[in-house]
Structure 1
Amino acid sequence: MSGPVRALRAEWTKLRSVRSTAFALIAMVGLLLLMTIASASGSSTSYDGPKAYDTLTFAHRTTTTGDGTYTARVASQKNSSPWAKAGLLLKDGTKSGSSYAALMVTPGHGVRMMTDSKHELVGDSDVKAPVRLRMTRAGQRVTGAWSADGRTWHTLGTLTVADLPATGAEAGVFVTSPKRSVEKRTGPTEISAHPVPTTGRATFDHVTMPVGQRSWSRTDIVQPPEKSEPPMDEPAPGTLHRAASGALTVTGSGDLGGLGMAGVGAGPGVDLVKQSLDDGTQLATLAVIALGVLFVTSEYKTGTLRTTFTASPRRGRVLAAKAAVLGGAVFVVALPATVAAFLLARPYQRDNGFRPPLFDNPSLTDPAGIRAVVGSAAFLALIAVLSLGVGALLRRTVPAIVLMFMAVVVLPLVAATTSIALGDFVSSATPVAGMAIQQTVHLIDSATTPWAGFGVLCLYVAVALVAARFRLVRRDV
């Protein structure tokens, strides 16, 4: 049997034979799951706004036939909001809430097609103006397509419009731009958000439609509030300007779509995956810190480390074997626990309002979700190995555990109540930066990116192990 394999086997025998190992691993799983349930059951959200929006500026003409093809090029679009909308609209009159089919482009979310605020097709999210849009109507079915050059067309799909009249529908181009939620950090863990009205603007050319009249009409479609809803702010009046070339420039405010469609109802961002894992993982570090420190300091206390080094004189190899066995054991036990934590949190999140259509339904099949769940288990394993390195450096249980608790538990709590600058520093430059691996959405309070934060933790682990190896080699046990 080779030396490295012998060392691994010896350290594994030590780890599983110590009673505190099983206790620490069980405590890690229990703390992780219990805190996950407590955190998820205590989180909540609500929405009291309209279930659908139909407020926009409409430049339109009356159609002379039911079926036909409607095209326009959105030559330019103002980035007034990521969810500002400009495109083609086929509508049963000009009353808010009447049946419609819309094909649009947005500055931040590509091409979309909607009918009656109930059905939506999502196209390429990278498409921006200038872009050509085409709707083809056949009865109550409307097919949407877009093209960057007017030659190669990409079909989004076909939707059914419920009550579009066979003849006499209004067809044209529209512009709308919703309120933009401006977020501001008021503390390390506090965010305030307030809506700011925006006005969209777009220029259309190459507009072709099966209509009889040649002149364009402009209508500001305004949505009356429902009785159960608070009064909505009146949007600013839109404008329509027709150039000598025939191009139309339209401005307008408001929104178009149903709840959870095309940004309707979207508020400050929420990372449901991180929310399901964050608190439980942090509490579970208490158990893995104790396990990692005791795995090495207990041998110093009993003097068995001298026997270990007599049997295996290469002290660096012994330390590496300890780190590999400890990290591997914690990861293998923690991974099913983080998966269970994610699955346990979802029912509580859904019951508390975090559900479609306003919120995505995260899944373990999503790459970001897999990274967060597996990364949480890896975070706990690395914290255990970091604790091992600190224990090997200090050689005493209490000072090592206190130091790790201060760095991983106390310092983040203090930073969360002190200042934004300190909070960001702790979240990006200390071992807890590894928690960023749980992020699936970049939010305003994200101090670092997932892999950058995880890399910081790996750097701390590497430094601690190198320093511990140096001391083991240079100093007697």
Structure 2
Amino acid sequence: MRKRSIVALAVAVLSVVVPGLLLAGGPGSSGREGAGLDVADQFWFLHRDLGPEGSLTVRLTAMTGTITYPPPDHDEIVPGLVPWAKVGLILKDGLRRGSPYAAVMMTGDHGVRFQHNYLHDVAGRPGGVSERVPRWLRLTRSGPTVIGSESVDGKNWVTVGTTLLDGLPDTVQIGLFATSPGDLTLRRVALGGSVEEVRFTQAVGVFDNVTPGGDWASDPVGEMNRTDWELLHHASGAVEQAGVVTVSGTGDIGPIGEEAPITTRLALSGLPIALIIVLVVAASVVRSSGTGAAGRRPLLTMAAASFLTGLIAVGVVVPVPRVAIGLGVAFALCAVLTGQLRELFGRRWAAVAVSTLLVFVPYFVATTALLPDPIAQWLLRVTPAAGFAAGQTLVEYPQVTAHYAPSAGYFPLPWWAGLLVLGAYPAVLALVVRRARRQPQPRMSRFNRSPRRTAGV
């Protein structure tokens, strides 16, 4: 490779690293917590100590909530609950964010649930709040085993879920909680694309028959009481009066933190620029791969250099090995595809133009909310841009309401399938190039040759 090609690839690395560090806040800014997971862990907690054995039983008599400025007019604050608003009982290893927990709860529109350690969700009896309240809830601990139960009358109990929380200390925190994720809607933009809008919500649970009693503490897990609604109208917190406890809270407890997908997308905001540079350099370096080892050397050299470009650039801003290696492989396959196009067409500009239409354009329009979500998803299933699913860190969870679309960082194919789709293009193109190389070139007949002019004739 020539010196200017190496310099160009270095610029490609910087085009990812510099905006990634500036916008996302530095290396490793995705904030991995818990068991290597970006989690949401924000709620109001009225809690007390619980030893190795014990339980807490309550009756949930009411569940209400508030949604601020919902569509269509966005001009009023209305009573209501989002589907995954939660109130109930939770057992947790301390108050720190991301610590192990188990909870039995009523939700806004998904009935009674038993959830633990952010990933796991078990459904109890279905039904909305109006059908399920009042409801008795109970959490029982026996060593590492935690059982969540529900009852209609406080006498006949049904087990909703059971889990083992290994490593729990002798003393944990158990109590009443309330939380409510933002109200998510989509707004149409551009050519039919959509962007998400999230509004503040709050859930309120009313409990009685809290047994056993004890010394209680009231604390937020995560930040609370910072919005105008909480400061001026209804603060999140816990209030006890005549044996009735009211707990109000906002936030969520689940596998997707509010900032994690946004941070990852910002960290990779320079990826399209780096991709264009790799395509141009590949078209310049690879002129003819030939049939022997020496002929294939420029193509292999460019593939290796592109892999290192992606690996280094992504690895600095998103230090997740699978993501860095996967995007490095995607860059290498894109370079091979462009090199083969250069050999097929013979002209650098043609190779750059076609590879840009095949790789860059689908990736750009699908990830920038220009097109409707279904069209964007199909572009990332059938074009070489599918390979950039290797950079996906967002996972779809049924217990989390989110905008699972390319413009929000969610690809329709898993990383390995995306790389297979991308890899299929240079594989097929290699067969086309080989076949074109083997076809005999037309030979000019001696009768069609122009007569040689001689002096004096």
Q: Smaller-chain TM-score range? A: 0.5 to 0.7
Would you say 1:456 and 2:421 are equivalent positions? yes
Deviation digits for residues 219-246 of structure 1 (CA, Å, limit 9, x no counterpart): xx99xx999641336599xxxxxxxxxx
Give the equivalent residue in structure 2 for 1:230.
228
Deviation digits for residues 379-401 of structure 1 (CA, Å, limit 9, x no counterpart): 11111001012112211122112
TM-aligned CA distance change 1:398 to 1:469, over 3 Å: same
Task: Report how far residue 280 of structure 1 moved.
Answer: 3.0
AA of the residue aligned to 1:398 = W
AA of the residue aligned to 2:196 = I
1:87 is paired with a residue whose SS is strand
1:33–1:337 Cα contact (<8 Å) kept: yes
TM-aligned CA distance change 1:189 to 1:434, over 3 Å: farther
Would you say 1:190 and 2:195 are equivalent positions? yes
Give the equivalent residue in structure 1 for 2:147.
147
Give the equivalent residue in structure 2 for 1:133.
139
Task: Report how far residue 464 of structure 1 moved.
Answer: 1.9
Deviation digits for residues 275-327 of structure 1 (CA, Å, limit 9, x no counterpart): 32x33332122232123223343x5xxxxx8xx66xx4xxxx77766544432
Identity of aligned residues (%): 17
AA of the residue aligned to 2:307 = F
Task: Report how far residue 161 of structure 1 moved.
Answer: 7.9
Give the equivalent residue in structure 1 for 2:346.
395
Equivalent position to 2:253, from 262, 281, 306: 262
Give the equivalent residue in structure 1 for 2:96.
none
TM-aligned CA distance change 1:152 to 1:471, over 3 Å: closer
Please give the alpha-carbon distance, in whole angstroms, between the structure 2 residues aligned to 1:67 and 1:383: 57
Equivalent position to 1:158, from 160, 169, 175: 169
Task: Report how far residue 268 of structure 1 moved.
Answer: 7.0
AA of the residue aligned to 2:306 = V
TM-aligned CA distance change 1:411 to 1:123, over 3 Å: closer
How do 1:38-437 residues align onto structure 2 when only pairs under 5 Å count? 38-42=19-23, 53-54=43-44, 69-72=54-57, 81-82=83-84, 84-87=86-89, 104-105=103-104, 111=115, 122=117, 125-126=120-121, 129=124, 133-135=139-141, 145-147=145-147, 154-155=164-165, 157-158=168-169, 174=176, 176-184=178-186, 186-187=188-189, 188=193, 190-195=195-200, 209=211, 229-232=227-230, 234=234, 254-255=248-249, 262=253, 267=258, 270-276=261-267, 278-297=268-287, 299=288, 312=292, 323-342=299-318, 364=319, 369-410=320-361, 412-413=363-364, 416=368, 418-421=370-373, 422-437=375-390
Deviation digits for residues 131-186 of structure 1 (CA, Å, limit 9, x no counterpart): 962258xxxxxx77413779997356237689xxxxxxxx9x85745144314253
2:394 is paired with a residue whose SS is coil
1:270 is paired with a residue whose SS is helix
2:146–2:164 Cα contact (<8 Å) kept: yes
| TM superposition score normalised by structure 1 | 0.55
TM-aligned CA distance change 1:462 to 1:150, over 3 Å: closer
1:29–1:337 Cα contact (<8 Å) kept: no
Q: CA RMSD in A?
A: 5.5
The structure with the largest helix share of the pair is: 1
Equivalent position to 1:444, from 404, 411, 417: 404
2:302–2:335 Cα contact (<8 Å) kept: yes
| TM superposition score normalised by structure 2 | 0.57
Please give the alpha-carbon distance, in whole angstroms, between the structure 2 residues aligned to 1:25 and 1:189: 39
Please give the alpha-carbon distance, in whole angstroms, between the structure 1 residues aligned to 2:281 and 2:181: 51
Please give the alpha-carbon distance, in whole angstroms, between the structure 2 residues aligned to 1:447 and 1:387: 23
1:105–1:127 Cα contact (<8 Å) kept: no
1:279 is paired with a residue whose SS is coil
TM-aligned CA distance change 1:67 to 1:144, over 3 Å: closer
Task: Report how far residue 465 of structure 1 moved.
Answer: 1.8
TM-aligned CA distance change 1:376 to 1:211, over 3 Å: closer
Please give the alpha-carbon distance, in whole angstroms, between the structure 2 residues aligned to 1:26 and 1:230: 51
TM-aligned CA distance change 1:464 to 1:198, over 3 Å: farther
Task: Report how far residue 26 of structure 1 moved.
Answer: 2.9
Task: Report how far residue 211 of structure 1 moved.
Answer: 6.5
2:90–2:104 Cα contact (<8 Å) kept: no
TM-aligned CA distance change 1:111 to 1:159, over 3 Å: farther
Task: Report how far residue 404 of structure 1 moved.
Answer: 2.0
Please give the alpha-carbon distance, in whole angstroms, between the structure 2 residues aligned to 1:264 and 1:89: 17
Please give the alpha-carbon distance, in whole angstroms, between the structure 2 residues aligned to 1:382 and 1:438: 15
Task: Report how far residue 456 of structure 1 moved.
Answer: 2.1
Task: Report how far residue 437 of structure 1 moved.
Answer: 0.8
1:105 is paired with a residue whose SS is strand
Task: Report how far residue 374 of structure 1 moved.
Answer: 0.7
Please give the alpha-carbon distance, in whole angstroms, between the structure 2 residues aligned to 1:150 and 1:197: 25
2:261 is paired with a residue whose SS is coil
2:58–2:210 Cα contact (<8 Å) kept: no
Deviation digits for residues 415-469 of structure 1 (CA, Å, limit 9, x no counterpart): 6474225544433332222212101113522242333332221122222222222
Please give the alpha-carbon distance, in whole angstroms, between the structure 1 residues aligned to 2:277 and 2:198: 37
